[in-house]
Amino acid sequence: MGSPAPTVKSLNSVYSLNVEAQTQRYDRLSRKFADIYGAKPDFIARAPGRVNIIGEHIDYCGFPVFPMAIAPDMLIAVHANGTDRVRISNVNTEKYPARDFRTAEIFEIDSKVHEWSNYFKCGYRGLFEHIGRSGGNGFDALLDGTVPAGGGLSSSAAFVCATQLAVQRVNGINLTQVELASIAAGAERYVGVNSGGMDQTASIMGQQGSALFIEFDPALKATPVKLPESNSPFVFVIANTLVVSDKHVTAPVCYNLRVVETRIGALILARHLGVADHRACKDADPLTFKVAMDEYFATQDTAGSDTVQMWIDHLSAMLHASNAAFGSHPDGYTREQMAAALDMTPDALSAAVHEDRFPVRAQRFRLLQRAQHAFSEALRVVKFRQICESGDTCLNYCTALGDLMNCSQDSCRDLFECSCPEIDELCALARRAGSFGSRLTGAGWGGCTVHLVSRDKVESVKQVLVSEYYAKKFPNMTAAELDNALFATAPGCGACYYE
């Protein structure tokens, strides 16, 4: 059945670092809420951002990923107001002006308008559509977010997830964490963004001290994986490029385009493998690389097989199959070429991958490179978990895990083309300063990087990044801005209520 989001009484249950500073933040939020609405909040809903340690752009391909929840989060202080109106404010009033809606109006979302409250509407609408209701009770809300927008740490997912927690409690709803994560994953489609589900699952289901091995097919499953202890304890340093990647604006040529490329790739690969007419592939909407792979190996006798080795064998075989399926078009396909490969018209192909809901702009679709990344990145995720759980006391965990992270960055840059010069620069600087592994995290095209660093080298790595990157590119940064852009973190707590 699954568990609901927990309620905590102490912030020590939520944050492992800087608890006193967080306590002061919650107190400020409650006081400002009272100043605005004339009452104390009933509760505070909290949902964190996440950093994906490894496994980029493969959640929507059906493959597992390896994120962890982090301390930066979205807080929503809430008080039921006994009306049919929902009033929302933000502590940053200059950037995010207050909004006031009738409960029925919240279902109206114009995805063409870039409006901050649309993400609130996504969470609200997604929840009520799931339970089959047209609206609920009115309430007042004050938001305080510390996840940088466009930074690759899932600020939008934290926003949508915190909204769902707030809305369900005001309306006497108590869905499980799995249900909330699934609803939130689909809700961002209302603003035209195609989400695979990793961000929302990590935000809702994160656990202190563990990363999550998240699987999406055949069903959503999050397995906590403790990071290994070693003679040289390590943490993750997050460094924001401060290049803002706004998915809402860039989706047609970046994020959504990659989704469409992998969906079309799955259709062509299934035909190449001879499984396109199998029921599992025909029923899948959309068809993913994972479904095509599983159907190809469906008749294989796996009794007694090692699960991890089976993953490795299957993914390795699919890498070879992808080269055979797409190798004749190393420079990419035109729409007409893709349609011809599937005996479809271009319009029918667009409809098959739901391009009408998520429009893209491209002259050529680089299916070979996207498939190579998807299967090799899934391999790296499986191997990362394998190393974490190996218990091999002779293994240098930092080097082994770091090597996988470095290979991931190479693939993101060269095959999936979702890196940028600033990401490449931060990764190079961190590695030279002592990082074992450095890569982009999140959608890419800007945003944040993540670096595996031994605890005794955290400050020296940070100092190099400050002097060689931030001081040169952003000489007027304040100390507070720098602290938000560059910090060390460990696996944190997932979404919860604070009373």
| Residues catalogued as catalytic | 199
Q: What angle do CA 222, 226, 228 make, to 5 degrees?
A: 145
Pairing relation of β-strands 234-240 and 448-454? antiparallel
- How many angstroms separate the Cα of 76 from the Cα of each of 29, 172, 259, 359? 9, 17, 31, 32
* Biggest CA pair distance of the chain: 67
C-alpha 268/C-alpha 272 separation (Å) is 6
Per DSSP (E only), the strands in 58-126 are: 66-80, 85-90, 99-102
**CA torsion sign, 388 to 2 to 72 to 380?**
positive
Alpha helices in 132-254 (DSSP H): 155-170, 177-187, 198-205, 247-250
According to DSSP, the residues that pair with 101 across neighbouring strands are: 86
C-alpha 481/C-alpha 71 separation (Å) is 16
- How many angstroms separate the Cα of 448 from the Cα of each of 151, 424, 444? 5, 11, 8
Q: What angle do CA 230, 72, 239 make, to 5 degrees?
A: 65
C-alpha 342/C-alpha 264 separation (Å) is 9
